[in-house]
Amino acid sequence: MLEDLILTVLMTSVPLVYAATGELIVERSGVLNLGVEGMMLMGAVSAFGIAMVSGSLVLGVIAGGLAGMLTAALFGILVLGFATNQVATGLALTIFGAGLSGLLGAPLIGHAIEGLPVLRIPFLSELPTVGKLVFSHDLMAYGAVILVAAVAYFLKRTRAGLVLRAIGDNHDSAHALGYSVLGVRFMAVLFGGLMAGFGGAYLPLMLTPHWAEGMTAGRGWIALALVVFASWMPWRVLVGALIFGGITIMQLAGQARGWTIPSQFLSMLPYLATIVVLVLISRNREFSLANSPACLGRAFHAGK
Amino acid sequence: MISLTPRKEIPLTLTLMTPLVAIALTLVVGAAIFGILGYDPLAALYQFFIAPVSRPYQVADLFVKACPLIIIASGLVFAYRANVWNIGAEGQLILGAMAAGFVALTWPNLPGPVMMPAMIIAGMLGGLAWGMIPALLKTRFNTNEILVSLMLTYVAVLFIDWTVRGPWRDPMSFGFPLTPMYADAALISRVELPGIGRLGQLHWGVAGALIFALAAWFMLSRSILGFQVKVMGDAPRAGRFAGFSPAMVTIMVMGISGGAAGLAGMVEVSANIGQLQPDISFGYGFTAIIVAFLARLNPLAVIIAGLVVALAELGGDSAQIALAMPKVVTGVFKGILLFMLLAGETFNRYHVTFSLPHRARMQGDSDA
Amino acid sequence: MKHLLKGIAVGLAALAVSTGAAMAEPLKVGFLYLGTPGDHGWTYAHELARQKVEAHFGDKVETTFVENVPEGPDAARVTRELANTGHDIIFGTSFGFMDPMLKVSKDFPEVKFEHITGYKRSANMATGNIRFYEGRYVQGIVAGMMTKTNKIGYIAPFPIPEAYQGLNAFAIGMREANPDAEIMVIWANTWEDPVKEADAAKVLVAQGADVMAQHTDTPAMLQIAEKAGLHGFGQASDMKKFAPNAQLFSSVNDWSHYYIEKIQQVMDGTWSTGEGPDHWAGNTWKGMADDYLVLSAFENMPADVKAAAEKAAAKIEGGYNIFTGPIKDNKGNVVVKAGEALNDGTLWSDIFFYAEGIQGEMPG
């Protein structure tokens, strides 16, 4: 019974991990894209539509990622090419994505599909408890963990990761060193879109296999909070997503058992915790310099 | 590739032209989309831009819809001019509405001349207090105000939800999440001119919003505070040399923008709803951010930008009623309009040249 | 100012002309939707009813709907807009439109307003509702007979009278069929959030529920039941497509009877708010007997359960009051005495209790 609850927590965290890890890369490059919700919705509707028409969930996932990426490209062109304000453009992207996904999704309403199958890893999934919790998931859930590991490795161990961080911390000197600030940022934005699209795809393919208008219901905004809560560290995104997901499920499970704490206060906890984390990392100057991208949200153009 | 060179001076004609060109482009793209979706493009554009203001009472509605946007954006202009990124106006609006609601519900028998000022002050203080949290955390601990103000918006949404479902719920509401209705003295009345009567739903809060925007413009362009704000935003180093305190400026602008959002919350509830409920704002705090940028951070232009954005909203409704066009089309159209206006702004600030990738890169390098 | 004055006069004249002309032209009917017909739940049911209205009256009516109307000042504006564009009768299909519509109704005495699920009426604003709880009583009986774990999951929306009516009717039916069964309630605090509903359903399954009911609007819960090989009930519209093996039946809202009745009354000039000395008489509140609420086919259940469900449905259609005493709450206190029953008024005010069989404490 507890295993099943934990399994639910894991599943509800998966889309958050994708979207937040993508946004983490975007923010590490110094760009703030508030349009995660819009990109997730585009990912969700495209994934469901393609999966329904083609009958292939894999194609659905790919379509979801690509749709998120295309939506992000729009943001990238405006913010990087035209140096528009990132906050305003991100908000506009959310309005746009919500609208367009609703429009595209209208013919999909009222249809259901088979969700992603669970891949039980032979032998290991037979183990008590661990077998169920660790070795019995769908492909995208395993993918989320691999993604976090890859991003952590990328940021810490690769040259490209170093360049990305350098650009996020000080775009002027990175530019002086000859790196293409806008080029790298555009790639980061596309990656963020791809991941938001994957995260969105998980909702109609796995969590609840149908499409509903606006079905992300604010999860894109939670992903944004999660990046900060994780203080821009990939592994902490994983932990944070489990905490956010855990609190959501705890409220529901607590109610079913007759708890009477107002759910609103439990729901507030992750956001308050995020602020506390932010204060703790910001007052520690060394830590804050090491992790939080100093150029976050600031426009760059050569020759400034 | 696109390369940008900042303009030294912005010619006035350009300032006026770019939004018009952006709107014209939106019309073309919008017409194409409407056409593809099977609507008569001209009829659709008519419904979006002309029909919502074709009758006098509708013009009044437009101002009513734009009212909270104008108030909030006028305040946000201060913050953004000073490079302080308050994006939590939505939460500040909610706290302002709650503080004003507290006055209205706790002392329902206050006479009008006391009630209204008390609610206005409470509303501004509520928003201000919520804005002070990111401000103080920024000045004290160097936290990022974008993120803190955003987090506090989530908290505010949950807080009002709990309040109206719990302690402030009207015992006579059969369990529905509504507070009691405000007393008449706590309601902002409709504008009623002698000999003419009411002008649609136009209420005195709209007059307040226009005065507020004018006052903001005056403060920004004529007062010492406005000067400080602009200096700290454009040239922080020069500002410090001049003896301005960045912390003080941060606190001032967060206070002004938070207070403005709180005021907007108070006005919206007192003029249009008359009681607190879980949803009182519908995203005005976020939309106002876009309005502030469309207005190029100029409070006078905020009035126009607020009206344009409000028009797109009303146009969506009239297109639904007249053409059965789904609401989602409005979202797409609004998104395109905002993208165009934001991109148009770039042509204003920069010389924009388009070129082949490798040439642009070389140019970029030589610029540095 | 003079121009403005003139403008208003012209506007009013145009309005007068349009209402005058409406006599010869089709009756204009407006609908305000809270969500979109794409929710496949609440708003979808209203949309189906609107289409039936068009099919029934043909050229005699012209219908308009506005979707995604927020519950606040925008609702007032849209209502006013519909009134100004010559709509003769306007249906508002969400509780939150109550006060905005009430305000507007006073400015347009010629226009008829119909508010769904509310309790405030005016000279030209009537209210209507469906006795949703009747279907839940039948659900309770089926759930009580179907459960093997004696644990039933129930996803509730907000703690409002309609939700308590449904929950308690369900509990009463369930306990009639199975005195050992218990209900675990989760208040989702939403009408429509598929992911949250799915999460709630998974939590209920994890806690041992093998039959689930919902008062929220999406098919998410049924899809979870389908995947887990369990059973559940659909809400507002027939959700069989989403869970062919899990759905026992859906309580389907059919608003068309109400709409057609009211529109016909406007055409005949007999429309009224029905308000009498007894405040509650003004509320048109009908259920299974009048086909306002329709139960979809009973499926995926053994013959004896099906027979019991059919019997219960017939009993209700025969006028049985589910809330007939004695009714005890879950702490053993008598809330409705023997020989008494809740009526259309007290079903709103005295319904705030957890009937026997519901676990836990009420929220708030």
| Shortest distance, CA C191 to any CA of chain B (angstroms) | 14
Overall average pLDDT of the B227-248 stretch: 84
- pLDDT confidence of A273, banded at 50, 70, 90? confident
Helices A2-28 and A234-256 pack at an angle, to 10 degrees, of: 140
Q: Count B/C contacts: CB-CB distance under 8 Å.
A: 92
Furthest CA-CA distance within chain C: 78
Q: What is d(CA C54, CA C264) in angstroms, rounded to the nearest whole number?
A: 12
- Is the pLDDT assigned to residue B106 strictly greater than 90? yes
State the residue for tokens 């209705």: B181
Range of weakest confidence among A116-120, A275-279, B313-317, C218-222: A116-120
Could you say which of B147, B293, B331 has the minimum Cβ distance to residue A96? B331
pLDDT value at position B229?
86
What's the one-letter identity of residue A64?
Answer: G
Tell me whether residues C38 and A256 touch, CB distance under 8 A: no
How many residues comprise chain C? 364
Lowest mean pLDDT among A24-28, A260-264, C243-247: A260-264
Cα C44–chain centre separation: 12
- Chain C residues touching residue B57 (CB < 8 angstroms): 8, 11, 84
Looking only at Cα atoms, what is the longest distance across chain B? 73
Residue B291 lies in a domain: yes
Q: Which residues of A touch B330 (CB under 8 A)?
A: 99
* Residue of B306, B311, B331, B61 whose CA lies nearest to C84: B61
Residue that wins the pLDDT comparison between B95 and B331: B95
User: Does the pLDDT of residue B96 top 90, yes or no?
Assistant: yes
Instruction: List helix spans (H) across chain B.
Output: 12-36, 41-45, 56-81, 89-106, 112-141, 145-165, 204-222, 224-234, 236-241, 246-268, 284-294, 299-323, 327-349, 357-367
Q: Which pTM was predicted?
A: 0.86
The answer to whether residue B232 sits within a structural domain is yes
Over range A70-82, report the average pLDDT: 94
Which chain B residue has the Cα nearest residue C38?
A: B326
Interface residue of A36, A80, A82 to substitute, partner B, most B CBs within 10 Å: A82
Residues of chain B in contact with residue C162, where contact means CB-CB under 8 angstroms, are none
pLDDT band at A119 (very low <50, low <70, confident <90, very high): low
Residue of A nearest to B295 (CA): A88
**CB-CB contact of C41 with C188 (8 Å):** no
Query: pLDDT digits over A279-293, tens only?
Result: 887 776 666 556 677
Q: What subunits touch chain A, counting only 3 or more CB pairs under 8 A?
A: B, C
Nearest residue to B72 (alpha-carbon basis) of B98, B94, B103, B104? B94
The parent domain of residue B215 ranges over 62-303
- Residue A257 with chain C: CB contacts under 8 Å: 184, 207, 359-360
> Is residue B7 a part of any domain in this protein?
no
- Fold observed for domain C2-130+255-289: Rossmann fold (3.40.50)
- In tens digits, what is the pLDDT along chain C, a chain of 364 residues? 445 444 444 444 444 444 444 455 899 999 999 888 877 788 999 999 999 999 999 999 999 999 989 888 889 999 998 999 899 999 999 988 998 999 899 999 999 999 999 888 888 999 999 999 999 999 999 999 999 999 999 999 888 889 999 999 999 999 999 999 999 999 888 888 888 999 999 999 999 999 999 999 889 999 999 999 999 999 988 999 999 999 999 999 999 999 999 999 999 999 988 776 566 667 889 999 999 999 999 999 999 999 999 999 999 999 999 999 899 999 999 999 999 999 988 898 899 999 999 998 887 6
Q: What is the pLDDT of residue B228?
A: 87
Please name which of A269, A292, A268 lies closest in space to residue A280, comparing C-alpha atoms.
A292
Q: How confident is the model at residue B294 (pLDDT cuts 50, 70, 90)?
A: confident
Q: At A102, which amino acid appears? A: G
Indicate yes or no: CB of C352 within 8 angstroms of CB of B274.
Answer: no
Q: Give the nearest partner residue to B332 out of A100, A176, A271, using CB atoms.
A: A100
Q: Looking at residues B60-77, what average pLDDT do you find?
A: 95
Q: How far is residue A274's CA from residue A31's CA, in Å, rounded to a whole number? A: 20
Domain boundaries, chain C: 2-130+255-289, 132-252+295-349
**Cβ B289–A88 below 8 Å, yes or no?**
yes
More confident residue, A121 or B54: B54
Q: Per-residue pLDDT for A299 more than 90?
A: no
Identify the residue whose tokens are 């506090």: B152
Residue range A240-255, pLDDT digits in tens? 999 888 888 888 888 7
pLDDT tens-digit profile of A204-224? Answer: 998 888 898 888 888 898 898
Q: What pLDDT score does C21 carry?
A: 45
Q: State residue C22's pLDDT score.
A: 45
Q: Can you tell me the distance from the alpha carbon of C212 to that of C227, in angstroms, rounded to the nearest whole number?
A: 13
Nearest to A279 among B137, B158, B329 (CB): B137
In the predicted model, what is the mean pLDDT of chain B? Answer: 87
Mean pLDDT of A23-36: 94
From chain B residues 79-138, the ones with a CB under 8 A of any chain C CB are: none
3-state secondary structure of B56: helix
Report, as an integer, the average pLDDT of B91-95: 97
pLDDT at A138: 80
What's the CATH architecture for A2-113+134-291? Orthogonal Bundle (1.10)
Residue A303 has pLDDT above 70, yes or no: no
Which band of pLDDT confidence, cut at 50, 70 and 90, is reported for residue B258? Answer: very high
A42 burial via Cβ count (<10 Å: 0-12, 13-18, 19+): buried
Give DSSP secondary structure letters for A39-65. HHHHHHHHHHHHHHHH--HHHHHHHHH
Using a CB–CB cutoff of 8 Å, tell me whether A103 touches chain C.
no
Asked if A132 and A7 touch (Cβ cutoff 8 Å), the reply is yes
Percent of chain A past pLDDT 70, that is, above it, reads 89
Mean pLDDT lowest for which of A268-272, B156-160, B292-296, C354-358?
A268-272
Question: In this predicted model, what pLDDT tens digit does every residue of A177-187 receive, in sequence order?
Answer: 888 889 999 99
Which chains have 3+ CB pairs within 8 A of B? Answer: A, C
Q: Do the domain assignments include residue B344? A: no
| Structure-block tokens of residue A190 | 């596309």
Q: Do residues B229 and B249 touch, judged by C-beta distance below 8 A?
A: yes
Q: How do the domains of chain A map onto residue ranges?
A: 2-113+134-291
Number of independent structural domains in chain B: 1
- What's the CA gap between C115 and A273, in Å, rounded? 43
Residue B6 in any domain: the answer is no
User: Which tens digits make up the pLDDT trace of A152-191?
Assistant: 999 999 999 999 998 888 888 888 888 888 999 999 999 9
**B107 C-beta neighbours (distance < 10 Å), count:** 14
Condensed to tens digits (0 to 9), the pLDDT of residues C154-164 reads 999 888 889 99
Minimal Cβ distance to C160: which of B61, B176, B268:
B176
Best mean pLDDT range from A112-116, B231-235, C16-20, C346-350: C346-350
**Domain presence at residue B51:** no
For residue B253, being part of any structural domain is answered with yes
pLDDT of residue B344: 84
Q: In sequence order, which residues have a C-beta less than 8 Å from that of residue A88 and are 6 or more positions away? A: B289, B290, B292, B293, B294, B338, B342
**Which of C1, C99, C102 should be substituted to probe chain B, the one whose Cβ sees the most B Cβ atoms within 10 Å?**
C99
Which CATH architecture best describes the domain C132-252+295-349? 3-Layer(aba) Sandwich (3.40)
Q: Where are the alpha helices (DSSP H) in C207-294?
A: 220-228, 256-268
- Give the residue-averaged pLDDT of B267-286: 90
Query: What is the bridge-based pairing of β-strands C293-295 and C247-253?
Result: antiparallel
Q: State yes or no: pLDDT of B359 exceeds 80.
A: no
The interface predicted TM-score (ipTM) is 0.85
Q: Is C205 on the interface with A (CB under 8 A)?
A: yes
Which of A110, A207, A260 minimises the CB distance to C195? A207
> Comparing C-alpha atoms, which of B62, B27, B46 is closest to residue B314?
B62
The minimum CA-CA distance between A5 and chain B, rounded to whole Å, is 25
Beta strand C61-66 with C27-32: parallel, antiparallel or unpaired?
parallel
- In-domain check, residue B333: no
Q: CB atoms < 10 A from the CB of A218, how many? A: 14
Q: Do domains C2-130+255-289 and C132-252+295-349 have the same CATH topology?
A: yes
> Contacts of residue A288 in chain B, CB cutoff 8 Å?
142
